[in-house]
Amino acid sequence: MWTLFIVLLIAAYLLGSIPFGLLISQKAVKLDITKTGSGNIGATNVARALGLKWGIITLLVDTLKGFIPVVFVQYLLGSSAEINEALKGMIGLAALLGHQFSVYNSFRGGKGVATCLGVFLAISPISCLFCGMIFFILVSLWRYISLGSIVASLSMPICLYFIGHSTFIIILSLIISLLITFKHRENIQRLIQGNERRWQKVKL
Q: For residue range 112-159, what is the model confidence (pLDDT) as tens digits?
A: 999 999 999 999 999 999 999 999 999 999 999 999 999 999 999 999
> Are 151 and 203 contacting, i.e. CB atoms less than 8 angstroms apart?
no
**Residue 142, in any domain of the structure:** yes
> Residue 55: which of 78, 29, 74, 77 has the closest Cα?
29
| DSSP count for the chain of H helices, then E strands | 10, 0
SS3 50: helix
> Are 146 and 91 contacting, i.e. CB atoms less than 8 angstroms apart?
no
**Residue 203, in any domain of the structure:** no
**Residue 200, in any domain of the structure:** no
**Residue 175, in any domain of the structure:** yes
> Are 19 and 40 contacting, i.e. CB atoms less than 8 angstroms apart?
no
Model confidence at 30, in pLDDT bands (50, 70, 90)?
confident
The torsion angle over the Cα atoms of residues 127, 149, 144 and 196, rounded to 10 degrees, is 160
- In the chain, the number of structural domains is 1
**Residue 9, in any domain of the structure:** yes
If one counts every other C-beta atom within 10 angstroms of the C-beta of residue 107, the result is: 11
Q: pLDDT of 46-89, one tens digit each?
A: 999 999 999 999 999 999 999 999 999 988 877 656 668 899 99
By residue range, what is the domain housing residue 171?
Answer: 2-193
**Residue 204, in any domain of the structure:** no
Residue 122, CB half-sphere, CA atoms under 13 Å: how many? 30
- Tell me the whole-structure pTM to 2 decimals: 0.94
